Amino acid sequence: MDPPSPDAPPDGTAAVKSPAVLAYPFRLFFVLAGLYGALLAPLWLGVVLWGWPPPGGMDPLRWHVHEMLFGLVAAAIAGFLLTAMCNWTGAAPLRGRGLSLLALAWLAGRLAPWWPGIPPWAAALLDLVFMLAMTLYVARVIIASGNRRNLVMVAVLSLLFIANLLIQLDFSGILPGVARLAETMAIDLIVLLMVVVAGRITPAFTANWLDRHGGQRNRVRQRPGLDRVAIAVTAMMIVADGFVAAPLAGALVALAAAALNAVRLAGWGGWHCRREPLLWVLHLGYGWIVVALLLKGLGPWLPGMSSLVWVHAAGVGAMGTLILGVMTRVALGHTGRPLVLPRGAVAIYGLVTIAALARLLSAVGWAGYQLPLMVSGLAFSAAFAMFVVLYWRVLSSPRVDGRPG
């Protein structure tokens, strides 16, 4: 059986009289992440290629990066973390009105820049509410449970809030010029979060799948010492980029992190589960982390390579792939359904991979700029739209086994 954190609610969870989509955090926030992922890429193409005005006269690139990190990725983090946390702590899930209010806070942050005449400081406050509320809620639940192992999640969320605060202070004209540094800090933090979370679930799910299908779980090698060092070195990027701000130091740390995470990934034996898309997509997503770290580390020694190359390997490649990989799995397991990908849904993984490769081509300029950018944006949008179409009924219907959640 897979670890309980993302696939099954804790025993004894009480039934609630509310729409199924409000019964557990993953349901509502995965729908929001899917819809926003489908919408965001076409909006960006309109702004960057066709001259659509960005909201509130904001810098187009800064708005795009912010919405990818604190719109799309933040919704996916909320869906997974607030769900998995129930199993780590035994706490009841956030649901009903509380869940609705948190989702409305997220939505207010997305819509605020588009409201005509809204002052920048007011848009900033509306955007900051969501991450602050989620951080305080997660901290309260984890601290109350005594689950010290997962306090790292509170630390990461707190630093993400600080990064968003710095970006909003830049947008508001109070601290001009800090947005780029804060964006790098946020990307490093999300990479660290993926290394921690995907590093827990990917080898465990692979070993359990081998057990169920007549394989040998010891083919999956988990080395706690290597895990701790890989996480620690990945976390050092935050210090190198955010506080030391020395490109060479950040590059060396990134190369070390790439090597450690590559050894980690190789030990999980992803080729043994090549017949199971719900598993190999997690290995693929983790592989994109390694690629992104390698590209970041090689940057100072590859003249002309833009920092956008590693950023898009991390963003479209690692974040996009892991978000879709986790959402497609959790939505099945946590609604009592068999862990079998719906017919045609493997195309979701193909589309996000095309999006990542095309975006890297656009960033390096090997195939021009506009054409691969359009291919990337449309493929990315199609992947998330397909998720919503194929999983809406799963996410909006009660569990098929009659259990709460």
Q: DSSP E strands: which ranges in 121-234? A: none
pLDDT score for 17: 63
3-state secondary structure 267-309: HCCHHHHCCCHHHHHHHHHHHHHHHHHHHHHHHHHCCCCCHHH
d(CA 270, CA 264): 11
pLDDT > 80? residue 243: no
> pLDDT digits over 92-113, tens only?
999 999 999 999 999 999 999 9
**Best mean pLDDT range from 4-13, 56-65, 134-143:** 134-143
Q: What's the pLDDT band for 246 if we cut at 50, 70, 90?
A: low
Per DSSP, the three-state class of 12 is coil
Amino acid 283: pLDDT: 97
Q: Which residues contact 170 (CB under 8 A, 6 or more apart)?
A: 62, 176, 177, 178, 179, 182
pLDDT of residue 226: 96
Contacts with 212 (C-beta within 8 Å, 6 or more apart), sequence order: none
Tell me which residue of 149, 159, 3 sits closest to 80, measured CA to CA. 3
Query: What 3-state DSSP class applies to 366?
Result: strand
CA distance 111 to 181: 24
Mean pLDDT, residues 311-319: 97
Taking the C-alpha atoms of residue 312 and residue 334, their distance in angstroms, rounded to an integer, is 30
For the chain, give every domain's residue range: 17-396
**Residue 54 above 60 pLDDT?**
yes
Return the higher-pLDDT residue of 79 and 148: 79
CATH of region 17-396: 1.20.210.10
Which of 61-75, 137-151, 328-342, 350-364 comes out lowest in average pLDDT? 137-151
| Rounded Cα–Cα distance for residues 101 and 82 (Å) | 14
Mean pLDDT of the chain: 91
Distance CA 356, CA 173 (A): 33
Give the tens place of pLDDT for each residue, 161-205: 999 999 999 998 899 999 999 999 999 999 999 999 999 999 999
CB 31 within 8 A of CB 388: yes
Question: Is the pLDDT reported for residue 9 higher than 90?
Answer: no
- The percentage of residues in the chain with a pLDDT greater than 70, rounded to a whole number, is 95
Rg (CA), the chain: 20
pLDDT tens profile 379-397 = 999 999 999 999 999 999 9
Distance CA(167)–CA(180), nearest Å, equals 8
Q: Could you tell me the two tokens for 164?
A: 């968003």
